[in-house]
Structure 1
Amino acid sequence: MKLDRIYLRTKIFYGENSLERLSSILGKRIWIICDRFLIENGSIRKVLEVIDNSNEVKLFNGVLPDTPLTVIGKGVAILKQFRPEVIIAFGGGSAIDTAKGILYFAREMKADAGIPLIAIPTTSGTGSEVTAATVVVDHETKKKHIFFDDSIYPDEAILDAKLTLSLPPEITANTGMDVLTHAMEAYVAKGASVYTDALAEKAVELIMKSLLQCYRHGDDGQAREQMLLASSLAGIAFSIAGLGMSHSVAHQVGGTFHIAHGLANAVLLNEVVLFNSRDSEVRAKYAQMAYRTGMVERSVDPGFAVDVLLTCIMSLKKMMNMPLTLAECGVSKEDFDKNVRYVAQNAVKDGCTPMNPIKITEQDVELLLKKLY
């Protein structure tokens, strides 16, 4: 007998003084995983300043975008040598995914004895600080692999909006659209429930109020905090409900054409909503999102409600000056034609595909990509 369940493991600290949580760690070997940029621009000092001097701290700054398997391998070797008692992942999705990937493979190799992971995001995007998912890239095959495992939920997440204030507009737009895609996909995914619906609806409400403000006025602390909360809400929602076609295609588009993950999702999202809306029940669910977030009155037809939802998403992208096609993202026609079938084949095999509300084929993905070129 199948039993429904909701599993929430991560303890979340949020608000103005949330980083102070780190000051309570005493006498431990702490391994901080981040990228080189956060060390060079001084952001790492905000973390180091609150860590007590009784701890031994080691930095790993080898994080790269789209978490390569080679970096994971180096990280596992360092973990076995340093034997940290606490791991802090500090940065965007790549830093947190790297830490989770290291822990995943270390546990597979019996080299990890339950080291607690504290995730501190510096972007409002992936929601990786509250999920059981990590994405890694095999650069030889240009394929992205997504792993889902309850053992890699971060034990704690620290959400401090001050750490996101310096995000440039382009990254704010890309990561913000990733949050929106998480919420939209979780809302109609096969694993959706009343719990995940509530989380996704609130996430979309916050995004529509705050993302454009963050893009235009990056120093607006309240808007940044709302986006950081939206990211975690959407992350929890998709970690329980699943994702779908947008992410399965975005993973492969990103790995093959080297397009930022959030931007790939932004390009895909409208066409994916249209594709899934072929099913009347899914279309009605999208309409519910428009009703519940105040985009339209409940009295209007569901089809019109979905049209308004799509218009809101497209308008948001245009106001943030985002590319709307793969060609505008810099993909050449030659490169597209050479790889479109390969991308479609890998997308259908992607770990997110089974949770899409309706079945997709390689031909469906190819057609969708050709519309977006």
Structure 2
Amino acid sequence: MMNSIVNDLNRALAQQILVNVYQVNQDVVYTGYVTAVGAQGLILATYDDYGLPDGAVFLDLNVVDEVEFSSDDLDNMAFRIQTAHDEHFVAAGGLTMHFDPQRDLRRQVLSHAWVDHLVIMLVLNQDQHFYEGLVTGIAADKVTIQLLNKFDYQDRPVREIDPSQIEVIEFQGQELSLQSAAATRLQKLPHQETVTVTSPELIAGTLRELVGRELFVALIPKHDQDLFFVGRVNTVTADAVILNLVDMTGQFGGYTLMRLSELHAVMLKSDYLQTMRLFTLLNQARQHPIQPVLNDERLFDATDDQFTARLTQAATFRSIIRLKLHDGTSVLGYPAQVGNQHFIFHEVVDNQVDQVGKAYAITDVDEVAFGYLDAYLTERQLKVEGDL
């Protein structure tokens, strides 16, 4: 089995084929180009879901389950990589290191990270956690990591790890590059106790005070209180809020419209909000605030029913949007025949459009996500392939 995997990796390396690498014990699938195959592991120059270079990953050969050369997913990724290139998407996270496959690849990555003060992400054997941090020392049998926690600045232990226990190392990706650039400042920022508003009668007023201001908030929905949407408050209507979202790399992430009645809490201060603020400032300094195909300057009428308005506009332009329904399900697609109370929704699953569509009540919709990069890419591919 191992031999066939090594053969596959060497073929991918020699022919420079875009591959998916599946892992034995993790759901994370890495897409990219193999750049080195060593005795114990490999280096894959990876791409994110949008087709942008996203650094690289070292994988121990023992965790590789399969190397996939051909699939619908790879076709979609190839389309996205080409689109990102054609549309001049801003990318900060390509692989710049060179590796000697005759030497221990894992140690080379750790050494590079130590010398260049890079934040890396580690997965250890028999451990389900992901660890992010800076390498502060390397010895023959141990590597010292100053762990970072962008959610809680008080949680910053130093760990000594046996390198042989390290199965996965992500490095030089978009988010990790930002963390590397921000590391010294993040380590100096004081811990911020989390401040949230949970009282339903205060939520709307709190959000109204934040309209048009540069402050970041996090909205926590009732249906999943582990989930939160970070961004700036754009508009508050009688029953809803529109947020200009910020993604994990501090870039504009489209818009989300949410019913006020479905909000569990509004987070006003936290360590993570401090982190996102810093990431956003770094992106602005690097001239990377927004992807060129997105528009972060949209304004909305606070006196309109925004659910009807967003559905109507998406129906007019056949724009791809994502809905979260009151029963908790999410659907991606485009609406049609938007009436006073009902609409038809044509769902898109695996780039296949349900041409018949399904009827929903407008009041069934709790959230609408729109104007974000994944929706743009899905829409563009459907149009190119003649399905939209």
Report 1 or 2 for greater relative contact order, CA contacts < 8 Å, sequence distance ≥ 6: 1
Larger proportion of helix: 1
The structure whose residues are more often strand, as a share, is 2
TM-score by length of 2: 0.24
Structure-1-length-normalised TM-score: 0.25
